[in-house]
């Protein structure tokens, strides 16, 4: 695809802009900002990746993954600002998921230890983990706020923090992982995944594209479940003090970390 062809595809941006203006939806500014940012960011990343792939140096691969984790943490922490220490909890979660998945892929020889494989797969893993973190944190803070009286009642009756928060925690974990599980049920029937479609368009064997897509789907399933569970069990203890009292004010204050 040439830059001229890319410019022509901007018609797909003009259409929603015209509709928004006509119907007075007020989406023009956000649409333009999103378009400009996506162009700049993706082109910049494209040139950076080209340099990293050509260099094939471990330090550049490490820095790229580190940048992904930093960006994901910065974005996700906004949704969990009410949970004390959420920043380091997110970092630990993202790093663990990245090490777990890449350890299996590289350790078992499923994918080659090259930048061409490590960086794109890491991007999908960390990106999915970030989205799941946001979903979990949104649901978890909502569950804790809604069921505050229930939590305090269980504590009053002699229950432990883990017992008092168990239902809310499990509900939040389930709710955040459901989209990933449900999307896999209809994959290939309702939609063709973007990565698989891209490989086919690029001329890859459709069967090979399907096999690689299945690898990513299984990978993201593990990412979703591990992220939600790990972040949940790292987060809930900070909502209680050493005397096992529920600190409801932590759901209202902004995290200073």
The 10s digit of each residue's pLDDT in 28-81 is 999 999 999 988 988 888 888 888 888 878 899 999 999 999 999 998 888 777
Q: When comparing pLDDT for 97 and 24, which is higher?
A: 97
pLDDT of 25 > 90? The answer is no
Query: Which of 163-167, 204-208, 249-253 is predicted least confidently?
Result: 249-253
The overall average pLDDT reported for the chain is 82
Structure-token pair, residue 257: 């970390």
Q: When comparing pLDDT for 139 and 146, which is higher?
A: 139
Handedness of CA 184, 185, 190, 192 (dihedral sign): positive
- Confidence (pLDDT) at 141: 81
The 10s digit of each residue's pLDDT in 148-205 is 777 777 777 777 777 777 888 888 888 888 888 887 777 765 555 666 666 777 677 7
Partnered with residue 187 across adjacent β-strands are 191
- Confidence (pLDDT) at 66: 94
Q: What does the domain layout of the chain look like in residue ranges? A: 1-55, 57-251
**Residue from 224, 247, 257, 225 nearest 78 by CA:** 257
Instruction: Among 117-131, 196-210, 227-241, name the most confident range.
Output: 117-131
């Amino acid at each position: 695809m040439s830059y001229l062809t890319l410019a022509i595809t901007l018609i797909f941006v003009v259409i929603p802009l015209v509709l928004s203006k006509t119907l007075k939806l007020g989406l023009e500014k956000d649409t333009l900002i999103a378009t400009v940012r996506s162009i700049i960011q993706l082109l910049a990343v494209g040139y950076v990746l080209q340099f990293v792939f050509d260099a094939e140096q471990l330090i550049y691969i490490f820095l790229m993954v580190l940048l992904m984790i930093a960006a994901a943490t910065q974005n996700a922490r906004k949704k969990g600002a009410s949970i004390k220490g959420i920043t380091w909890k997110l970092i630990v979660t993202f790093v663990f998921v990245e090490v777990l998945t890449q350890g299996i892929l590289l350790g078992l020889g499923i994918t080659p230890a090259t930048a061409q494989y490590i960086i794109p797969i890491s991007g999908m893993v960390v990106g999915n983990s970030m989205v799941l973190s946001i979903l979990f944190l949104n649901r978890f803070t909502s569950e804790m706020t809604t069921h505050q009286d229930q939590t305090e009642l269980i504590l009053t009756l002699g229950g432990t923090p883990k017992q008092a928060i168990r239902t809310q925690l499990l509900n939040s974990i389930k709710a955040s992982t459901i989209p990933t599980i449900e999307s896999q049920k209809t994959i290939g029937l309702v939609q063709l995944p973007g990565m698989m479609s891209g490989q086919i368009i690029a001329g890859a064997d459709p069967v090979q594209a399907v096999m690689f897509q299945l690898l990513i789907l299984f990978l993201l399933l593990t990412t979703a479940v591990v992220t939600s569970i790990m972040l949940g069990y790292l987060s809930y203890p900070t909502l209680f003090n050493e005397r096992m009292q529920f600190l409801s004010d932590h759901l209202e204050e902004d995290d200073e970390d």
